[in-house]
Structure 1
Amino acid sequence: MTQVGVMREERTYWVYVLASKRQGTLYVGVTNSLERRIAEHKAQRVDGFTRTYGVDRLVCYRGFGEVTEAIHFEKQLKRWRREWKVRLIERDNPEWSDLYIEMMELPPLHPDIAAALAEHKRRVSPASRSEDRDP
């Protein structure tokens, strides 16, 4: 038996962490469009905390298939101690790089973005890490 009109759109819901700078002010949010939401933060179209404190560097994000899971994790993360959030960020992004730049890797709209992306790639490539080099 076929159910008519019960098609579910596959969606990803994102929990994200923004920072003002390395080790700076943190903000945790949830959205169904990470690219759009971060662009809004960067353009300072979001009134409130992030605009007031200049928090627009995407330093960590995680995707969920269900909105309830994403909201649950967002609420949980907001209750975490700062040191736990820092550990989460630094596990995958030790340099606190702006991950939005990597997301927008399609032809950069401005030369400064291209330069920032190239610098980020140079810093995180295995060849640039001294601990990975032979003595």
Structure 2
Amino acid sequence: MSQYNFFTYILTNYNKTVLYTGVTNDLNQRLYEHYFGVAQGESFTSKYKCYYLIWFERHQFINHAIEREKEIKGWTREKKVKLIEQENPNWDFLNKEIMEWPPIFTD
């Protein structure tokens, strides 16, 4: 059976006041897209400058990643904070673990 990587992730802004939960099959590419506002229109992450990865979870199947994203989006901020702090108690920005940070725009 093939192994696939799908991710549920949480981003925040520099001041750590806003949380955004998403899902992707390419975390590096998705962080790049958030940072450069590649998404069409005015996105939540662009508006609130949520570029900083503070938590992520790997899944083998996309449906598991999507289910987890929906679950987390339904939680209170307090419950999300507890999840983040279980693995990242200092809310360190994890972007450098995933990609070159800050990303360099290449066109």
Length-normalised TM-score, structure 1: 0.68
Q: 1:84 to 1:12 in 2, by over 3 A?
A: same
1:80 is aligned to 2:75: yes
1:109 Cα offset (Å): 8.0
Distance verdict in 2 for CA 1:109–1:37, change over 3 Å: closer
CA distance, structure 2, for counterparts of residue 12 and residue 72 of structure 1:
15
Residue 103 (structure 1) shift: 2.0
**What is the Cα-based RMSD across aligned positions, in Å?**
2.0
SS of 1:74's partner is helix
The amino acid across from 2:66 in the alignment is I
> For the residues of structure 2 that align with 1:98 and 1:58, how far apart are their CA atoms?
5
Corresponding residue for residue 13 of structure 1? 6
Tell me the alpha carbon deviations over residues 50-89 of structure 1, each in whole angstroms, 9 at most, x when there is no partner.
0011111000000111111111110000001110101111
Structure with more relative contact order (C-alpha pairs < 8 Å, separation 6 or more): 2
1:98 aligned onto 2:80: no
Number of the residue aligned with 1:68: 63
TM-score by length of 2: 0.84
How far 1:40 moved relative to its partner?
A: 0.9
Q: Deviations over 1:19-72 (max 9, x none)?
A: 013541000000000110011111222341000111110000001111111111
Query: CA contact under 8 A between 2:5 and 2:61: conserved in structure 1?
Result: yes
Q: Which amino acid aligns with 2:22?
A: G
Q: Identify the structure with the greater helix proportion.
A: 1
Q: Which has the higher strand share?
A: 2
| Alignment gaps of 5+ in structure 1 | 1-7, 111-135
**Partners of 2:19 and 2:57 in 1: CA distance:** 16
Question: Secondary structure of the residue that 1:61 maps to in structure 2?
Answer: strand
Which contiguous aligned blocks of 4+ residues in structure 1 show a shift greater than 3 angstroms? Answer: none
Q: Which has the larger radius of gyration?
A: 1
> 1:67 is matched by which residue type in structure 2?
I
Residues 21 and 66 from structure 1, CA distance in 2 versus in 1: closer, same or farther, beyond 3 angstroms? same
